[in-house]
Amino acid sequence: MAGWGRGGRRRSKAPGDGSTPPGSAGGGPKRPAVRRLRLRTVLLTVVIVPSVTFTPLLASGMNQLFTQWQAEKAQLALADTTVGRPVAELFFALDQERRFTAQAQAAPRAAARDRLAVQRRATDRAVRAFRPLAGADLTDGQRGLADAISRTVGSLSLLDQQRKAVDAGTAGATQTFNYYSGVLVSGLGVLTALSNTDEGRLNTEAQALVDLFWIIDMVGREDAVLARGWESGRLTRIEYGFVTEAAGTRNHLLRARVLPALTGGETRHAKIAEGQAWQTMTAVEGRLSTAAGAASDQVRFREDAAAWRSSVQTVTAQLRELVELRRRHVSAVGHAHADMIFTVFVSVSTVGLLALGLVVFASWRLTSVLRRRILHLRQDAQELRERLPDVVARLERGEDVDVDAEVRKIEPTGDELGELGQALNLARRSAVRTAIRQAEQHRGFQRMLQRIARRTQILIGLQLKKLDELERRHEDPEVLEGLFDLDHLTARLRRYEENLVILGGGQPQRRWRRPVRLLDVLRAAQSEVQDYRRVSIDVEGESWIAERAVGPVIHVLAELMENATTFSKPLTPVEVRAAPVSRGIAVEIEDRGLGMEPERYASFNALLQAPPRLDVMTHADDVRLGLYVVARLAANLDLQVELRPSAFGGTRVIVLVPESLVVRRPPAAVPEEEGREAGGSRARSQAGTADARRSDGSSDGRSDGSTVASSGGRSDGRLPTRGGARTPASGTVTPTRRGAHAGTAAEADTGVIELNGAGAGEGAGAGTGAADPVGGAGSPAPASAPAAAPAGRPPLPQRVRQASLAAELRPPEGATQNGRAAREQPSRDQPDRPVRSGATIGAFQRQSRKRRTGDDAAGDRPSESPDPSPPTTKDRS
């Protein structure tokens, strides 16, 4: 679309490029070239014009509110600290100095003058703190504040002169009283100016504070006049007038203007006029009124100086406390009003800016319809790119996808952009339909892969059955050697077929009805590895795996063991260690290969933690298909698989089996010591299975065949032995008598691996001659008695030890009997180690063939649910 736009502009500028209609370029007059503004310029012009008009109005209103807020904050600062506090301190200092000066004039004693000198120093400090206010910037202050401060400073300039006159005795009492009262009135004028604000409520509250200062001044005036009269016991008529005038003003201000304005914590002073101190003052004033009724020019009164002084001090303290409370209240009201103005400023500014933005936005949208439509087309294309992977993923999960619902149709219009939208609609639908077809093809390929793998597994089962028949038919060690190798290869082939099933989205069909001991699970995994001789197993303790996890765990461990043997040198060992941990069972598989780079370890661990969807066609040549299988199985069972570098230079794989997949030993399992007491030869037959060429399913090549029938297994979860076995080192076959350990078949089957639920039928051919239905399991059969053959088949021949030896090589008869007795004598002190004689492998293979007899009869149907009740001895008879 961008290229298309550039071409359009070039055609408009070049008249001869063929864009003009035929005939117009030749004879007709040419139209004057019209100057066209760029789209960007037009849009900016349309947006800027209303914005420039609206912005000054908004800025003016915002500036007015901000200026008012700043002015009120400045006035509050002046009232609280800058002016209010120095004026209050000066007021209280001058009030005290006025009283002490009156006392000194009435009785010029040394004590009175000392008190006056101390108070004068306090007043001087207050004056020094107040004088700088005369030169301060008070442009943001209240109206008349600067004039009131100037008048007060002017009055204070005469303070030193007045003091000298008082000290010299040239100043009269009335003149001194009037001077101090005048200075105090000037200070009250400053407080009155501070209370003048434009906010009505704040002005009212502040006026009550000023009235409290006036009340204190009235009390101070009375106190100053009476302080001089206490010495002589009389007052002049003028002085009496001062007292009565001050008392009347005080009472009026208190009752009419202060007490009605008290709120909050101030209300506790509402009854100040009813207190004892106030009543004492009123009583003294009443006696003065009585004395003033005489005809003399002087008012005589009794000696009430102590009561008056005590009541004045109490009342003054109460008034000062009320002044502080009122000051705090006025300050709170002022700050609240300032905050309200600021809130209005912020609100107006926000609304104005939003309105300005709305104007700009509306202008922009009204002038950019074309650009917006093109942008929508671009967004639709982007949405297709983002939603298509999600649609494909849903199709891969097998969900039904409605193309019309998933692909939003662009509404067509009659212009060129509408045609472009229709073309985009067609492209969208085509892309989604292509994705649907690809997903269906992928699912069909997976189903086809699973069907082929399932059918191949059936053929593998038939092949294993045929191999079993051949193993029963032949006893030549070389022939058995070849048959066992084919058996082992068939078992590996079955695992590879299961890999195809898993990669195709299916699940393995192997099922078990009983929990299986961990050692047997490891042996079964080892039996499916090509170089099984290199794998050594070490298990701590006795742990059991839940029946639902036996098959997947065997498969996972087999794949990891196979990987360890494949990517390490042929003669190096692969160590497998398993032990219980706090969260389940930890299995470690460590090889001594070349290892990998840290990036590869991180990549593989990420693959194992979150298995991705595997496209079989694109990963057909990938050697990591086994890791995909492990990741799938681990995700289904919540196994944790992690690859780490080994100390030997190779790779160490840690498989954590969660505690939910670990069960206790089944109740029917017989302890190992008890089993040895029941059959003396059983310990020897079980000794060498861990390091044999295959275990669990390896003897017959079928781990899904559960290596042992449920009725012919061992109570401790170990694998039974088969007719012949090869030692790990030489690979030769050691013939073993088939009936030597028939007594082990009578033990309980809990923990024994069994195939697809065919365990009940297998017991009939596994150990009928060894179990005693009355006496219970564990009764050993005679060593010379051959094991009972399955129905329809001839009994297996019994091998006799050293029957083919030459006479010269045979040991004496006594030595033979002693040696046999020593071999058949069970050893209670010898530990049950994983490496034992080759006879154990022979017994394992023999019992595996017996178990498969029942599997073949039962068919390949998997057991979808565990057997609700453990089999009994009667089930195996």
Beta bridge pairs of residue 586: 579, 656
Residue 584: the pLDDT is: 93
- In this structure, the answer to whether residues 439 and 514 fall within a common structural domain is no
241 in any annotated domain? yes
- Whether 376 is in a domain gets the answer no
Q: For residue 40, what pLDDT is reported?
A: 62
Residue 529 and residue 537: Cα distance in Å, rounded? 13
User: Residue 290, class by beta-carbon neighbours within 10 Å (0-12 exposed, 13-18 middle, 19+ buried)?
Assistant: exposed
- Same domain (yes/no): 431, 470: yes
pLDDT of residue 670: 47
Among 33-37, 436-440, 758-762, the range with the most confident prediction by mean pLDDT is 436-440
Choose from 124-128, 233-237, 255-259, 290-294 the range with maximum mean pLDDT.
124-128
Q: Closest Cα partner for 278 from 245, 250, 241, 237?
A: 250
Place of tokens 């705090």: 328
At 585, is the pLDDT very low, low, confident or very high (cuts 50, 70, 90)? very high
606 versus 143: which is more confidently predicted? 606
The H-assigned helical ranges of 131-199 are 145-156, 159-168, 173-194
Cα separation, 647 vs 795, whole angstroms: 53
- 392, 432 Cβ separation under 8 angstroms: no
Q: Tell me, yes or no, whether 217 and 285 share the same domain.
A: yes
Q: Among residues 330, 357, 374, which one ends one of the domains?
A: 330
pLDDT band at 727 (very low <50, low <70, confident <90, very high): very low
Question: Where does the pLDDT of residue 14 fall: very low under 50, low under 70, confident under 90, or very high at 90 and above?
Answer: very low
Taking only the tens place, the pLDDT of each residue in 550-560 is 999 999 999 99
Examine the pLDDT at 452 and tell me if it is beyond 60.
yes
Pick from 160, 81, 167, 80: nearest CA to 127: 160
| Residue 811 falls inside a structural domain | no
Distance CA 639, CA 587 (A): 11
Q: Which of 465, 481, 539, 514 is nearest to 860 (CA)?
A: 465
Residue 621: which pLDDT band, with cuts at 50, 70 and 90? Answer: low
Q: What does the pLDDT average to over 841-862?
A: 53
Q: Crossing angle of helices 550-566/625-637, nearest 10°?
A: 150
Band the pLDDT of 684: cuts 50, 70, 90.
very low
pLDDT of residue 207: 85
Q: Could you tell me if residue 836 is inside a domain?
A: yes
Say yes or no: 661 and 586 in one domain: yes
Q: Tell me if 347 is assigned to some domain.
A: no
Residue 573 shares a structural domain with residue 482:
no
65-114 pLDDT, tens per residue?
A: 888 888 788 777 777 777 778 888 999 999 999 989 988 888 778 888 88
For residue 823, is it within any domain? Answer: no
> For the residues 18-23, what does the mean pLDDT come to?
41
The three-state DSSP-derived secondary structure of 357-379 is: HHHHHHHHHHCCHHHHHHHHHHH
Query: Is 519's pLDDT higher than 90?
Result: yes
Region 48-60: mean pLDDT is 81
HSE of 587 in the Cβ direction (CA atoms, 13 Å)?
28
In whole angstroms, what is the distance from residue 803 CA to residue 810 CA? 9
Residue at token pair 């509250």? 205
Last residue of a domain, one of 330, 348, 379: 330
Label residue 279 by pLDDT band (50, 70, 90). Answer: confident
Question: Does residue 269 or residue 542 have the better pLDDT?
Answer: 542
Q: Is residue 722 a contact partner of residue 483, using CB atoms and an 8 Å limit?
A: no
Tell me what pLDDT residue 601 has: 93
Mean pLDDT score, 702-726: 35
Residue 706 in contact with residue 512, Cβ under 8 Å? yes
What CATH number is given to the structural domain containing 575? 3.30.565.10
Half-sphere exposure for 803 (CA within 13 Å, toward CB): 7
User: What are the angstrom distances between the C-alpha of 330 and each of 144, 202, 319?
Assistant: 20, 7, 16
Is 631 a residue whose pLDDT tops 60?
Answer: yes
Are the beta carbons of 227 and 98 closer than 8 angstroms? no
**Residue 140: what pLDDT?**
66
Q: Considering its fold, how many domains does the chain have in total?
A: 3
pLDDT over 90 (residue 641): yes
State what percent of residues in the chain have pLDDT above 90.
Answer: 16
Residue 461 CB-half CA count within 13 A: 24
Region 29-39 average pLDDT: 54
Residues 427 and 512 in one domain: no
Q: What is the pLDDT of residues 120-177, one digit of tens each?
A: 999 999 999 888 887 777 766 677 788 888 888 888 999 999 999 988 888 888 899 8
Q: What is the pLDDT of residue 668?
A: 60
Is 2 among the domain residues? no
Write the DSSP string, 580-626. EETTEEEEEEE--S----HHHHHHHHHHHHS-----TTTTTT-TTHH
Longest dimension (CA), the chain: 173
Q: Which pLDDT score is estimated for 294?
A: 54
The pLDDT of residue 123 is 92
Please name which of 671, 728, 750 lies closest in space to residue 526, comparing C-alpha atoms. 728
Three-class SS string for 461-519? HHHHHHHHHHHHHCCCHHHHHHHHHHHHHHHHHHHHHHHHHHHCCCCCCCCCCCCEEHH
- Asked if residue 705 and residue 652 are part of one domain, the reply reads yes
466 & 584 share domain: no
Please answer whether residues 356 and 54 qualify as being in contact, where contact means their C-beta atoms are separated by less than 8 angstroms.
yes
Supply the pLDDT for residue 781. Answer: 35
pLDDT of residue 558: 93
Residue type, 401: V
330: pLDDT strictly greater than 50: yes
Q: What pLDDT score was predicted for residue 579?
A: 95
State which of 2-6, 682-686, 770-774 shows the largest mean pLDDT.
2-6
Domain match, 189 and 293 both = yes
pLDDT at 598: 92
In which element (H, E) is residue 578 found?
A: strand 574-581
Q: How confident is the model at residue 718 (pLDDT cuts 50, 70, 90)?
A: very low
Q: Are strands 535-539 and 574-581 parallel, antiparallel or unpaired?
A: parallel
Mean pLDDT value of segment 270-296? 74
Statement to judge: residues 603 and 457 lie in one domain? no
Q: What is the mean pLDDT of residues 656-672?
A: 77
pLDDT at res. 83: 78
Percentage of residues in the chain having pLDDT higher than 70: 66
Most confident of 315-324, 695-704, 822-831, 832-841: 315-324
pLDDT at 823 over 70: no
Domain end, chosen from 464, 487, 507, is at 507
> What confidence score (pLDDT) does residue 378 get?
75
Q: Answer yes or no: are the C-beta atoms of 194 and 79 closer than 8 Å.
A: yes
Q: Which one has a higher pLDDT value, 612 or 469?
A: 469
Same domain, 472 and 579: no
What mean pLDDT is predicted for residues 301-322?
83
Q: How far apart are CA 736 and CA 799, in angstroms?
A: 7
Mean per-residue pLDDT for 411-423? 77
> What is the pLDDT, as a whole number, of residue 564?
93
For the entire predicted model, the pTM comes to 0.41
* CB proximity list for 318: less than 8 A, separation 6 or greater: 269, 272, 275, 277
**pLDDT at 809 (0 to 100):** 55
Q: Are residues 236 and 221 in the same domain?
A: yes
- Domain range for 730 is 508-614+622-787+832-876
pLDDT tens readout for residues 375-409: 777 787 787 778 777 777 777 666 777 767 776 77
Q: Is residue 258 in some structural domain?
A: yes
pLDDT of residue 859: 41
pLDDT of residue 300: 64
